[in-house]
Amino acid sequence: MVNKTDYLSRLQVAITQLHHCDATWRKSVYVEEVSHGEVAWSGDVEVFDLTGHPKARRCYGWAHGVPEEFVGILEVAPVTDAYTAVKVGLSGQIKKARKKK
C-alpha cells in the first residue's frame, strides 16, 4: 500500500520541478476514462494550485509505472478539469509510444 502523504509529496516536487513554480495540493478527483467501451484509465487525479506560473493557476497530476513516472498537466485550454487532463495525458502517452516504435 502506497502512503498517500509520501506520494503527494513526491508528486508535488515533480510538478514544481516540471513547471518551475510552487504547487499546493487541493484535492483528489477520481477519473475513469472509457474508450471503445473499455476502461482506458482509472484512478485519482491530484489537483494542485499553482503559484508563479505565467499561464496556469492549476495543475492535474498522477503517477504510473515502475519506476514511477509523474504526469503533470497544466490547466490551459483545452484542459479545464481533471477529466480533460486525463484525456490530454493519455493522448500524449499514445504519441510518445508511437515515436518509440
pLDDT single digits (tens) 62-84: 999 899 999 999 999 999 999 99
Q: What 3-state DSSP class applies to 60? A: strand
Q: Cα(99)–Cα(94) distance, rounded to whole angstroms? A: 9
Nearest Cα neighbor of 47 from 26, 19, 76, 68 is: 26
CA atoms within 13 A on the CB side of 91: 9
* Cell numbers given for 34: 472509457
**Cα 2 to Cα 13: distance, rounded to the nearest angstrom:** 17
Question: Does the predicted TM-score (pTM) go above 0.85?
Answer: yes
The domain segmentation of the chain, as residue ranges, is 4-100
93 pLDDT band (50/70/90 cuts)?
A: confident
Number of residues assigned to the chain? 101
For the segment 17-71, what is each residue's pLDDT rounded down to a tens digit?
999 999 999 999 999 999 899 999 999 999 999 999 999 999 999 999 899 999 9
- Decide: 64 and 73 in contact? Cβ < 8 Å: no
